[in-house]
Copies of this chain bind each other. A is one copy, B any other.
Amino acid sequence: MASPLKLGLAGLGTVGASVARILAGKREHFSDTIGRAVVLTAVSARDRNRDRGVDVSAAAWFDDPVKLAAEGDIDIYVELIGGSDGPALDSVRAALNRGIPVVTANKALLAHHGVQLAKLAQRKNTTILFEAAVAGGIPIIKTMREALRGNGVSRVYGILNGTCNYMLTRMEREGIAFADVLAEAQGLGYAEADPTFDIGGFDAAHKLAILTSLAFGCEIDLDAIYIEGISQITLEDIRAASELGFRIKLLAVAQRTDTGIEQRVHPTMIPANAALARVDGVVNAVAVDTDLLGSILLAGPGAGGAATASAVLSDILDVAAGTSVPTLGIAPQQLAPYRRARMRAHEGGYYIRLQVADEVGAFAAIARRMAENQISLESIVQRRREDEDGGVQPVILITHETTEAAVRKALDAVQRDGHLRGDPRMIRIEKLA
């Protein structure tokens, strides 16, 4: 049997402690599987004395993860500290500088510094594995980096934030309003005290930035992502979606277009009979449209200690097996610059919800504004609700394929015409295979 693989682990939070526990509990399973023992030789965390359900005292303790990465007796460095900068970044750099491969679950680190770190890894003839950084335990990174290698990708999209998906599922199933579902999700630990990162779409955007690079062989550009969260979604939208044969999901989408690559995170209407529409609760799912393979879908738990630890372990075992795949799938100097497609050029169908004043000519004015912008309508739903203000009618429009620019222009004009009460709402419709 080959010499043991010496592991340095920084960060003993939910995922880190789970990795340590599984390594201890499945010691023989691992050495049998890969023909090589995996031994925790160095650890670093904030509090040395906290009980984490696993004894790590046999490993050398480092107060400073950067020192662990730079000086520890390790063959592989596992970064589970989190954060795009600070000790996470410094320690990863320190490990790579020694030519030591890195395994990380840190999406922010990669979304911000992925290309630079990939270059450093290449110079030092090593690599970074990060299966756990996107969609928890779902092997989407391995799939895109290895299994789809021969394919050209036209679109990658998915449900990348379990908190949002849980909340939208609850709103739809139980008819609970956004604010109440948020409070519930916070109580269950599915949402943070400050939920902005999740419900604002930023978490999904970090993950999308990484997937975009793998899909299109381009540099990572987090700042170019159009981001819209779910906090404006109402029960009215969800009910209307359901009646029209759709479901609302927070989708992250990267798509090749004539003018560049679109990257967007926003609430999306998808057909209720699509497999993705059945991905409920805290589950994540990613779909990839390709030239050879057609479309594939991967779904599974997007978070949780054991699921994320599973992805970390699979990366560790890949390193033990001698993997040599470049960090971002291809050599970093071959990454194309990211060419942004403007959101206004986005083409698709739209769901539009208006609160229209009950006045003569209001509806005709709206129809005229749509026509002026070459927007043709697939359906119009107008219904008076019992509990609605007598002078206002909710009107829902579903457009045929049009552009974001046309929709925005039409809605601006409708609003200027003065027939609306409140702001118009718009949700993009995604065509699925």
A residues 138-152 near B (Cβ < 8 Å) are 138-139, 142-143, 146-152
- In contact, B150 and A22 (Cβ under 8 angstroms): yes
Which of A181-189, A301-309, A365-373, A386-394 binds B?
Answer: A301-309
Main secondary structure of the interface of A (DSSP, over half): mixed
- In contact, B296 and A298 (Cβ under 8 angstroms): yes
- In contact, A151 and B310 (Cβ under 8 angstroms): yes
Q: Chain B residues with Cβ under 8 A from A54's Cβ?
A: none
Give A249 Cβ to nearest chain B Cβ, in Å. 13
Tell me, in angstroms, the Cα distance from A304 to B131 when the chains sit together.
29
A residues 266-297 near B (Cβ < 8 Å) are 273-275, 277-279, 290-297
Which of A32-40, A43-51, A73-81 binds B?
Answer: A32-40
Q: A33-B330, A301-B293, A324-B321 are known contacts. Are A147 and B139 too (CB-CB below 8 A)? A: yes
Q: Chain B residues with Cβ under 8 A from A395's Cβ?
A: none
User: Size class of A's contact patch?
Assistant: 35 or more
Give A4 Cβ to nearest chain B Cβ, in Å. 16
Asked if A397 CB lies within 8 Å of chain B CBs, one says no
Q: Chain B residues with Cβ under 8 A from A5's Cβ?
A: none
Tell me the nearest residue of chain B to A135, going by C-beta.
B296
Q: A22-B150, A313-B149, A317-B150 are known contacts. Are A293 and B137 too (CB-CB below 8 A)? A: yes
Tell me the nearest residue of chain B to A143, going by C-beta.
B139
A30-B150, A294-B300 are known contacts; what are 15 more A-B pairs with Cβ within 8 Å?
Answer: A22-B150, A29-B150, A29-B152, A34-B149, A139-B147, A146-B314, A150-B314, A151-B310, A273-B278, A277-B278, A293-B301, A294-B306, A296-B300, A297-B298, A298-B299
20 A-B Cβ contacts within 8 A? A29-B152, A30-B150, A32-B334, A33-B329, A35-B331, A137-B293, A139-B148, A142-B147, A146-B317, A147-B314, A148-B314, A151-B310, A275-B278, A292-B309, A293-B306, A293-B310, A293-B311, A294-B307, A321-B324, A322-B322
Shortest 5 CB-CB contacts between residues of A and residues of B: A296-B300, A139-B147, A150-B313, A292-B310, A137-B293
List chain A positions with a Cβ less than 8 A from chain B. Answer: 22, 26, 29-30, 32-35, 131, 137-139, 142-143, 146-152, 273-275, 277-279, 290-301, 304, 306-307, 309-311, 313-314, 317-318, 321-322, 324-325, 329-331, 334
